[in-house]
Amino acid sequence: MTYVDGFVAAVPTANREQYQHHAQIAAQVFKEHGALKVVECWGDDVPEGKLTSFPMAVQRTPEETVVFSWILWPSKSVRDAAHQKVMSDPRLAPETNPMPYDGKRLIFGGFEMILDQ
């Protein structure tokens, strides 16, 4: 059964091009290790909430944009096997390809896909 890793982050709006470059390199690495698809979405209509919201979840500041991303894997086992390889890939090392956002405010999770129409 396909498996999805989902991510939400707050990225400085001024770093959009840097983020896109970082994401393109990361997508290549993920796909080399078995990902079927990598999707990056730049926030366009992401309202503030009163109780919960994407901006609140990542503590977005006025100078930042919410990014929503996901990686589609053929299975959780493929994702699990790829994880260490992806994290140790030198193309994603902070010295080579620094994250253009505060990774401490990144939220993420793995999800079993139960509907895909």
In angstroms, rounded to a whole number, what is the distance separating the alpha carbons of residues 13 and 108?
Answer: 20
Q: pLDDT tens across 74-91, in order?
A: 999 999 999 999 999 999
Q: pLDDT tens across 38-61, in order?
A: 999 999 999 999 999 999 999 999
Q: Where residue 23 sits, what CATH number does that domain have?
A: 3.30.70.100
**Domain-located, residue 89:** yes
**Domain-located, residue 63:** yes
pLDDT bin (cut points 50, 70, 90) of residue 1 is: confident
**Domain-located, residue 29:** yes
> What domain range is 71 assigned to?
3-45+52-112
In angstroms, rounded to a whole number, what is the distance separating the alpha carbons of residues 4 and 7?
Answer: 10
**Domain-located, residue 21:** yes
Number of domains in the chain: 1
**Domain-located, residue 117:** no
What single DSSP character describes residue 44?
A: S
What pTM, to 2 d.p., does this model score?
0.93
Residues 6+ apart with CB under 8 A from 34: 73, 74, 78, 79, 81, 82
**Domain-located, residue 60:** yes
